[in-house]
Structure 1
Amino acid sequence: MNALQYVRPGNGFTPNFQLFEKSEVNGPNRIDLYKWALGLCSSSPVPNFNPKGIYMYDEFSQEDIRWNFEKILFDKTGKPYRRYPAASGTDIIMPDIEELLNR
């Protein structure tokens, strides 16, 4: 993943841990894990897209991930329970985690 050399600490930074392959979470090349998870979630927690020119794909769907760090909470059985916007903190997610743990 060449992008890591251009982010902090930068200057040719080489991680000392194994990197996995970059994968697509939106568009026609969405990996199967996201096809499955997003297909079982209710609609996106962010109803609108940013200006579409900033995205690197053309086929848009309401279930698309809108931005980095959007979160998906899974229940004890491994099924998606709820999606959260990227800016959601633990104060927003903890009540749902507690509810799932108490089931």
Structure 2
Amino acid sequence: MIRITILEIASFLLPFLIFFIWRWQSNSEHPIEATPTLRLAAIGAGLAVLMMIALVLVESSRGGHEGEIYIPSRIVDGRVVPGRFVPAGEVEADDAEAGDTTEPQ
């Protein structure tokens, strides 16, 4: 969750950072009060929305597909075995005890 929050904040602040780096590198005669804050905020909000959409698309590709069963994470011999999706026909006896083996509807 913190990773998503950091990505959202960074994508919002990116236009401001680029503008101020450009402003610092160029020898502009305009005073710093001429910063286009509203325009930069709108661009940053747009980037944040695009980042949210991209994160949703990436996370949704990790989910299971039709005909797969989710086996939740569990502890085996003191180690955490991460959860995973397996085809319905490949559920082992150990996995059947750990997860719900009913078909998704």
Question: If the length of structure 1 is used for normalisation, what is the TM-score?
Answer: 0.22
Q: Give the structure with the higher percent strand.
A: 2
Q: Report which of the two structures shows the higher radius of gyration computed on alpha carbons.
A: 2
